[in-house]
Structure 1
Amino acid sequence: MSEHSSAEPRTNKKPSNSHLLLAAIAVVALIIVAVFVLANKESKPAENTKFRQDVVVPEETPKTVVNTARTEAKSQQEERIVESPEVETSEPVIEEPVVTEQPVARPVEPVETVLPTLDDSDTSVRDSVANYLSKQAMELLVTEDMVRRSVVFIDNLAQGKIAKKHYPVSKPADNFMVIEDDIIVTDPNSFERYTPYVNMLNSMSTAQLVRLYEQYKPLINEAYEEIGYNGSEFDYTLQEALGELLETPIPESSLPLIQESVTYKYAYAEWEQLSDAQKLFLRMGPENMKKAKKRLQAFQRALAN
């Protein structure tokens, strides 16, 4: 029997190199497939875009864990911010004291004095003047028809005249006296007769004089109209009367006199030619004239303002 007729393979024959190479390749392939399968199990499967277009899947809202204590505190803080939008929460709120406005007191309007009629005005005028003068000074006043008497007297003074029947004050109790020597001069004691009148004038302030005049001005104007003038023009007449007296010069020494029957006149023409109102003023004497002029000047300025 020859070698080639045997059909049974030999069991101890070694595998060839090509068979070993195929086996190694198969093992490596299996390992690669196993790794690929395991990796795909952890990743998400690829989405089917066509299926997503046809089917709408509702999205799940993510649930958030809420801290209720923190939420309530934040809500309260927001409420405070809404109530006080102008207050910054980072700074302390300082409450200002509430100031209650006090009602403004209205000035008390002066009560208008109701004047009596001109015929019944003596009591009112006398009582008003008595508020400023002493009892002794009040005794110098003529208290009958006081407004009319004063208006007529002042109107005559403005013309340089003396209305003897309308003196607003009583005449001096003592008579005029002179000293007769080489020349005749006025006795200085005669000047003292007018001192109470000057004191009466100076016992009232300028403001009081103006107040009395303004208070009874309606009655004064009425009395001025009774003697034929425009009542509103009495202010000018009063200024003229004051000016007449203030223009009287004050002598620096005794003035010589000349006797004529029972009367006297000034020896020098410059003094004798003065108006009757100015010569009456001269009889007060230099000291009384200075005091009276000072008050009359202040009264004149006050009336002009």
Structure 2
Amino acid sequence: MSEHNSAESRNSKPSNSHLLLAVSVVVALVIVAIFVLSNRDNEQENAKFKQDVVVPEKTPTEVVNTARQEPATEVEEPAAPEPIVEPEPVTEPEPLPQREPEQPVAAPLPSLDNSDVALSEQISNYLNDTAMELVVTDDMIRRSVVFVDNLAQGKVAKNHFPVSKPQDNFMVIEDDIIITDPNSYERYTPYVNMLNAMSTAQLVRTYDKFKPLIREAYEEIGYDGGEFDLTLQEAIGELLETPIPETSLPLLQESVTYKYAYAEWEQLSDAQKLFLRMGPENMKKMKKRLQDLKVALAK
């Protein structure tokens, strides 16, 4: 009976409740196994990711304020004034002696007897050939000194003219009265032009250059050489005092000469009457030059 029971037990099928329970247990185990394996894989991946990925360290960034800021002004306490030290007097070096500029050495003057060439060359620097033909180049300084000395006395030294005499003769117009022919005035125009061709400065320069020889020549005729400057001024003044006629002056004939009909003109000095023969226009030009020369010589 017992063997029968045991065989029966082995051959009998499990019940549905037991089968359902077993299946539930197996499913539960499978779920648990999947969950465990899934967590393990995630942990390995995370660990590897942490090893391979390098996370840069964050560097603290300084915040810069771009707004314009006024620099902080430090208030300093006023420093104590430094003591004033008087500078020692500086001794200036003595100035070096300055050399006077070398003046051009003037060529020595020739002797009075040999002065014609030097004086002619000096004048020819200012006059053209036509004007130079009017100049008497024989004993020029002595001739001029004697002529000027006579002019200062109102006289005319006819033998000591420093220029040649006019080639044309004195002419008159005879009608009811005798008067000077105006064409006669033109005889003196070249002399006026010659004098005006030289400036006042050139005249004075020439006079100053040859003044030692002029004084020597003045001493030869019995005067103090230093007085010739005054004599020259008197000669110029004699001509400047000559009145200039506004109309033609009537003349009177005496033999081969003529004299002025009116006493106030005839009583003029010989030097002044010679000046009248130049005519009004030439007299005006000559007076202008003589006045400038007189002023220049007085300086």
TMscore range, shorter length:
0.5 to 0.7
Structure 1 residue 110 displacement after superposition: 2.3
Write the deviation string for residues 258-303 of structure 1: whole angstroms up to 9, x where unpaired. Answer: 0000000000000000000000000000000000000000000000
Counterpart residue type for residue 227 of structure 1: I
- Match for 2:127: what amino acid? L
> Is structure 2 residue 270 aligned with structure 1 residue 297?
no
Pairwise CA distance, 1:224: 0.1
Task: Measure the CA separation in 1 of the matches of 2:112 and 2:283.
Answer: 33
> Any stretches of 5+ residues in structure 2 without a counterpart?
1-97
Shift of 1:106: 6.1
- Give 1:215's aligned amino acid: K
Q: Which residue does 1:129 correspond to in 2?
A: 123
Structure 2 partner of 1:11: none
**Aligned-residue offset at 1:193:** 0.1
1:243 to 228, 237, 246: 237
| Structure 1 moving runs of 4+ over 4 Å | none
Distance 2:138 2:235 in 1: 22
Which residue is equivalent to 2:153?
159
Cα gap change, 1:183 to 1:138, in 2 (>3 Å): same
Query: Where does residue 110 of structure 1 map in the other structure?
Result: 104
Name the CA distance, whole Å, in 1 between partners of 2:124 and 2:102: 26
- Residue 253 of structure 2 aligns to a residue whose secondary structure is strand
Q: Which residue of 2 aligns with 1:51?
A: none
Alignment of 1:12-23 (within 5 A): none
* Alpha-carbon offset, residue 108 of structure 1: 4.1
Determine if the alignment matches structure 1 residue 183 to structure 2 residue 177.
yes
Q: Would you say 1:174 and 2:172 are equivalent positions?
A: no
1:94-153: per-residue Cα shift (whole Å, max 9, x none)?
A: xxxxxxxxxx99634121230000000000000000000010000001100000000000
SS of alignment partner, residue 144 of structure 1: coil
1:87 maps to: none
Instruction: Give unpaired runs (5+ residues) of structure 1.
Output: 1-103
Cα distance in structure 2, aligned partners of 1:283 and 1:188: 10
User: Structure 2 matches for 1:245-260, cutoff 5 A?
Assistant: 245-260=239-254
Identity %: 76
In structure 1, the residue matched to 2:41 is: none
Separation in 2 of the partners of 1:166 and 1:113? 28
Alpha-carbon distance in structure 2 between the residues aligned to 1:303 and 1:143 = 24
Amino acid at match of 1:139: E
Q: What are the equivalent positions in structure 2 for 1:21-170 lying under 5 Å apart? A: 107-170=101-164
Name the aligned partner's letter for residue 251 of structure 1.
P
Larger Rg: 2
TM-score (norm 2): 0.67
Match of 1:261 in 2: 255
2:52 corresponds to: none
Match of 1:211 among 194, 205, 208: 205
Of 270, 273, 276, the match for 2:267: 273
Aligned length: 202
Report the counterpart of residue 91 of structure 1 in structure 2: none
State how far apart, in whole Å, the 2-side matches of 1:110 and 1:150 are: 29
Distance in 1, matches of 2:219 and 2:297, equals 20
Following the alignment from structure 1 to structure 2, what is the Cα–Cα distance between the partners of residues 269 and 242? Answer: 24
For 1:259, give the aligned amino acid: Q
SS at match of 2:164: coil
CA RMSD of aligned residues (A): 1.1
Q: CA separation in 2, counterparts of 1:172 and 1:144? A: 18
